[in-house]
A = this chain, B = another copy of it.
Amino acid sequence: MQARSDMIRREGKTIAFVPTMGFLHEGHLSLIKKARQLGDAVVVSIFVNPAQFAPGEDFDSYPRALERDCDLAEKEGTDVIFAPNKEDLYSAVFQTYVSLGELPNHLCGISRPIFFRGVATVVTKLFNIVKPHFAIFGEKDYQQLLVVRQMVQDLNFDINIVGSPIVREPDGLAMSSRNTYLSTEQRTSALSLCKSLKKAQTLLESGTTDAATLINEASDFITSHPETVIDYVAICDPETLEDIKTIDKSALMAIAVKVGVTRLIDNMILKVAGM
């Protein structure tokens, strides 16, 4: 992959990179479409990264479908698919990690303490292997996007990080490879995440600027659905992820909920009228 990227670069061409864990859905395909617009060559990686799963999380059961993924990625104009094995990226003596000090102390980082270390580490590795000019990340994993941006700035990666909007099912459910875990009933419960975000925006527009009130409304709505256990419902600064008390400018509302055994996340930027 490094030799291939060197060749592309020596021809004066740019590389746009979409890192994924595979089991591609429309969300991923929208990232590949964006990559296709940005770079001369599009590289998609498919790698379920063990370093970002804690023991007891769903590393082993995470859905995989390499052949189907390759077909889908190629149809979107992917030039190179990089799909290493676990052993290719993590040797027996592997011991080097990239970690951040502040950003992981919020939202998903609290219930998944090694998650962002795993993400920052594998993204560093993939950047060094693929050598892209652009890398495209979905805004569904909003905190991950911030972590990658911060890491790129702090470690001086010469890479342009591009965010891409959440892609949703027609009924509003944010696309996720993990949606495949949901039963029909659970899928209905899962809809409470996006619905509660929309409801918060509506309440904000009608004058409710107190974050605690919006969080309580959303939490009550979600837990009124079967099999839901809230990890967090937060309203915070879109850059620092620090909690916000009163919404007087754009704020991130972010939600993580277990529906049955499936952990789902969603988020929305709440917008104050006239801002």
A2 to B157 CA separation, bound complex (whole angstroms): 10
- Minimum CB–CB distance from A129 to chain B (whole Å) comes to 5
- In the complex, whether A61 has a CB less than 8 A from a CB of chain B is no
Residues of chain A whose beta carbon lies under 8 Å from any beta carbon of chain B: 2, 6, 9-10, 12, 89, 91, 93-103, 120-121, 124-125, 128-129, 131, 150-151, 153-158
Cross-chain contact B10 with A96 (CB below 8 angstroms): no
- Minimum CB–CB distance from A267 to chain B (whole Å) comes to 21
Contacts of A129 in B (CB 8 A): 156, 158
* Sample (11) of A-B pairs whose CB atoms are under 8 Å apart: A9-B9, A93-B102, A95-B101, A95-B154, A96-B100, A96-B150, A97-B101, A98-B124, A99-B99, A124-B124, A129-B156
User: Considering residues A10, A103, A158, which has the most beta carbons from chain B within 10 angstroms of its beta carbon?
Assistant: A158
A103 to B9 CA separation, bound complex (whole angstroms): 35
A212 to B124 CA separation, bound complex (whole angstroms): 42
A130, closest chain B residue (CB): B156
Cross-chain contact B101 with A99 (CB below 8 angstroms): no
- Minimum CB–CB distance from A215 to chain B (whole Å) comes to 26
- Minimum CB–CB distance from A14 to chain B (whole Å) comes to 11
Partner of A154, one of B6, B91, B120: B91
Cross-chain contact B96 with A158 (CB below 8 angstroms): no
Cross-chain contact B98 with A103 (CB below 8 angstroms): no
**Given A129-B156, A156-B129, A158-B128, are A151 and B9 neighbors across the interface (CB < 8 Å)?**
no
- Minimum CB–CB distance from A36 to chain B (whole Å) comes to 23
A91 to B156 CA separation, bound complex (whole angstroms): 11
Contacts of A153 in B (CB 8 A): 91
A9 to B11 CA separation, bound complex (whole angstroms): 11
**Given A9-B9, A155-B124, A155-B125, are A99 and B97 neighbors across the interface (CB < 8 Å)?**
yes
**Given A9-B10, A10-B12, A156-B128, are A98 and B96 neighbors across the interface (CB < 8 Å)?**
yes
- Additional 20 contacts, C-beta under 8 A, given A6-B158, A96-B151, A97-B100: A2-B158, A10-B12, A91-B154, A93-B102, A94-B154, A95-B150, A95-B154, A96-B98, A96-B101, A96-B120, A97-B98, A98-B124, A98-B155, A99-B99, A121-B155, A124-B155, A125-B154, A125-B156, A129-B158, A131-B158
Contacts of A94 in B (CB 8 A): 154
5 closest A-B pairs by beta carbon, nearest first, are A96-B154, A95-B101, A128-B156, A2-B158, A125-B156
A124 to B155 CA separation, bound complex (whole angstroms): 7
User: Considering residues A6, A151, A156, which has the most beta carbons from chain B within 10 angstroms of its beta carbon?
Assistant: A156
- Minimum CB–CB distance from A117 to chain B (whole Å) comes to 10
A94 to B151 CA separation, bound complex (whole angstroms): 9
